[in-house]
């Protein structure tokens, strides 16, 4: 294969990869949009309520936060949850404290 043909194949391969990536991205975005529309429609019809809150886990997180002896990282490890879940429960506790103060 000569230099020119090699350069042409490289350019065509690059262009095809870019095109396939753009098509995949468009498909991904349209699937997310259709899914969101379906959830919105189901919510309007009262058929979609989302994931139920894990009351046991959240109360355990709040107990650890109120005790004040665990860091968020330790709570995450003990309970098996994300940092955002701990932060959400901490904010809930804080808002309850300011409501009753």
64 within 8 A of 90, measured Cβ to Cβ: no
Instruction: Find the DSSP H helices in the chain.
Output: 3-44, 55-67, 72-79, 83-100
pTM of the model: 0.56
pLDDT digit string (tens) for 14-71? 999 999 999 999 999 999 999 999 999 999 999 988 889 999 999 999 999 999 877 9
CA distance 72 to 83: 7
pLDDT digit string (tens) for 34-43? 999 999 999 9
CA distance 15 to 18: 5
Nearest alpha-carbon partner for 86 in 77, 76, 95: 76
């Amino acid at each position: 294969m000569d230099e020119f043909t090699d350069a042409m194949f490289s350019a065509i391969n690059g262009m095809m990869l870019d095109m396939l990536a753009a098509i995949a991205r468009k498909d991904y975005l349209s699937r997310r949009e259709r899914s969101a529309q379906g959830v919105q429609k189901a919510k309007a019809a009262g058929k979609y309520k989302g994931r139920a809150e894990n009351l046991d886990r959240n109360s355990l997180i709040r107990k650890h936060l109120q005790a004040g002896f665990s860091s968020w990282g330790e709570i995450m490890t003990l309970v098996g949850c994300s940092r955002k879940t701990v932060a959400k429960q901490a904010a809930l506790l804080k808002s309850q404290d300011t409501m009753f103060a």
